[in-house]
Copies of this chain bind each other. A is one copy, B any other.
Amino acid sequence: MTKTITMAHGSGGSATRELIQKVFMRSYATMPLLEGNDSAVLPMPASVDAGRLAITTDSFVVTPQFFPGGDIGRLAVCGTVNDLACAGASPHYLSAAFILEEGYSQDDLITICLSMARASEEAGILIVTGDTKVVERGHGDGVYINTTGVGFLAPDVELSGAACRPGDAILLSGTLGDHGIAIVSVREGLSFETDIRSDAAPLYALCEAVLKAAPGTHAFRDPTRGGLASTLSELAEQSRVAMLVEEQAVPVRDEVRGACDLLGYDVFQVANEGKMVAIVPAEQAEAALAAMRSAPYGADAAIIGEVQALATSSEKPQAYLRTPLGSRRVMDVLSGEQLPRIC
């Protein structure tokens, strides 16, 4: 077997089978995958609401594929796990599908798969089925990954982006902008005094802790592409409310703030891959905050604002920033492209 990917690896013949056995089965080594059937047949876990399941999908085209704090494989697991977590769903089963470019390094592919294996172990999700396609040079970019996750909800969990209510507190689980700035640093060859690392992390344990401490939680959402601005704007639209964020309450690392100033980025539009926004009734906000801070990846959590009613029925549902001087301005949603292929 050569050390690069060839078109034959996508043929469905013997080279495909060899790649599956050598790279994917060896890296993940989960039983459903090793059985080698076209579909994985899986048990419904005990202790969940057997009447509901959650499904989410994400493709990953990030460039570069390796960066401080992670790689495309870790991202592909965490991104999908976090979308399940947004529904309050415990992550259980993950599919992993690869589109490889002819000539890609098999060693890099193995490194990525091992990273996926580690991230899925950390997240408590099982890689159960996969697919591999190969495209000719110049029709891909090394490796693109799709992951689709299946999760299950506890009987009493009811979350929705449409459930935010005036008076709710807006919580953020940590510092903004780390992932986006880590990627752009590598891409542009920038170096800052302190290394900025991607925050890519699986957040179900954090969400579970919040749900336990604040069972009235209305919504979770992870501020990935488009950043906090897109996330809050979407929630505002779904719930027909305004979102008011206190600018000085939002945790941002000094070096990330500095990089944003240098690059002309709005940190509220920069992608995060290990942060969660929670919308929680005011009376449960402190409990939710304490739970976040005690949970993995939640040490820097903060209450950053509150949900407000629209002043008039014709007011546009959107997100606002209150500056340290007390003035209020719209939190701009990214309209063009800022950092293409950030995830």
Q: Which residues of A contact B (CB under 8 A)?
A: 6-8, 10-17, 35-44, 50-61, 82-84, 86-87, 89, 93, 95-99, 128-131, 133-136, 138-141, 144, 146, 148-151, 153, 160-162, 221-222, 224-227, 230, 234, 238, 269, 271, 333-338, 340-341
Contacts and interface: CB of A to CB of B under 8 A. Distances in A.
B44 A341 contact: no
Contact of A238 (B36, B51, B83, B227): B36
A contacts with B: majority SS:
mixed
Contacts of A340: 7, 10-11, 134, 136
Closest CB pairs A-B (n = 7): A12-B225, A13-B334, A12-B226, A148-B148, A57-B95, A146-B146, A39-B87
Contacts of A53: 41-42, 44, 53, 150
Given A59-B99, A87-B37, A13 B50 contact: no
Contacts of A160: 35, 37
A161 B66 CA distance: 37
A72 to B, nearest CB: 12
A222 B38 CA distance: 9
- Of A55, A95, A97, A130, most B-chain CB atoms within 10 Å: A55
Nearest to A219: B37
Contact of A89 (B41, B128, B139, B162): B41
A149 B52 CA distance: 16
Chain copies in the assembled complex: 2
Given A42-B54, A42-B55, A44-B53, 6 more contacts: A6-B337, A11-B226, A41-B89, A56-B129, A57-B146, A60-B133
A144 B99 contact: yes
A225 to B, nearest CB: 3
Contact of A37 (B37, B82, B161): B161
Given A36-B161, A161-B36, A58 B225 contact: no
A337 B44 CA distance: 39
Contacts of A56: 38-40, 95, 129
Contacts of A89: 39, 41
Contacts of A12: 224-227, 230, 271, 334
